[in-house]
Amino acid sequence: SSLAGICIVKIEDAPSAAVPSPALKICSFKVSEGFSGNRYSELLLRATLAHATERNCTPLFVTVFERHARLVEFFEPFGFDRLPERTSRGELVLWKPTLPAVGDTLSGLAFHVRYGPPRFDVHQAWHLVPIQPRFSHVLFPESRPDRLLFEGMHAFGNAIRKAYLCHSPTRRLDAGSVLVFYRTGPQAALVAVGVTERVIRTTDPAEVSREVAKRTVYTQAEIVDHSRKQLL
């Protein structure tokens, strides 16, 4: 019954010689205060990046006043860099290319942050990750065989950066490794591709909770239970 968030984009000339034209400008990017904590910002950004990729728009940019520090802090981890110059109104200009330049030497996680998602470095190690349907349907809601009329109900499903908890003994995962999530069961399928940001090994449920925040399908009670099983 109310608007949770909105993102408006348009194609226009880039604001600087450092940014190729035409570029996709994020004109409005807003989530209502009453809906904070649901990762709707990441849901909007994911849709924007998909829009840009489907239409071969590169790069993206957004202008924002420095007083909106939380907005700046939101964009920068997703590969938006600050330009040295500002707009005539004194706004910061953040931009992100979605296609690598000729001779680009970035690889692994740095490549993915700079140009993705969905682009990633295919030359990294690949790992197949099994996930049960009851978890894949909510962690990756876009992979459901029956799409919901109202999506975006879970913060971890909206998030671009997700946390996956398991008891796997492997020690071969590194930052930048490619994760291919395989849904098990009767509707078996490859449902998502991710890139490892970092790996944390711990049996302390409090540490797990601090690290994963609202990016995992597990509740606090389930995190505690899994940690105890690991101790055994």
HEC per residue, 173-188: CCCCCEEEEEECCCCC
Q: What is the pLDDT of residue 232?
A: 37
In angstroms, rounded to a whole number, what is the distance separating the alpha carbons of residues 24 and 179?
29
HEC per residue, 105-158: CCCHHHHHHHHCCCCCCCCCCEEEEEECHHHHHHHCHHHCCCCCCCCCCCHHHH
- pLDDT tens string, the chain, 232 residues long: the values are 788 899 999 998 888 888 888 899 999 999 998 888 899 999 999 999 999 888 877 899 999 999 999 999 999 999 999 999 999 999 999 999 988 888 889 999 999 999 999 999 999 999 999 999 989 988 998 888 777 656 678 899 999 999 998 888 888 899 999 999 999 998 899 999 999 999 988 888 899 888 888 888 888 888 888 777 754 3
In angstroms, rounded to a whole number, what is the distance separating the alpha carbons of residues 95 and 82?
7
pTM (two decimals): 0.87
Q: What is the pLDDT of residue 14?
A: 82
Q: What is the pLDDT of residue 60?
A: 94
At 81, list the tokens.
């860099």
Q: What is the pLDDT of residue 15?
A: 83
Closest CA to 96 of 107, 111, 81: 81
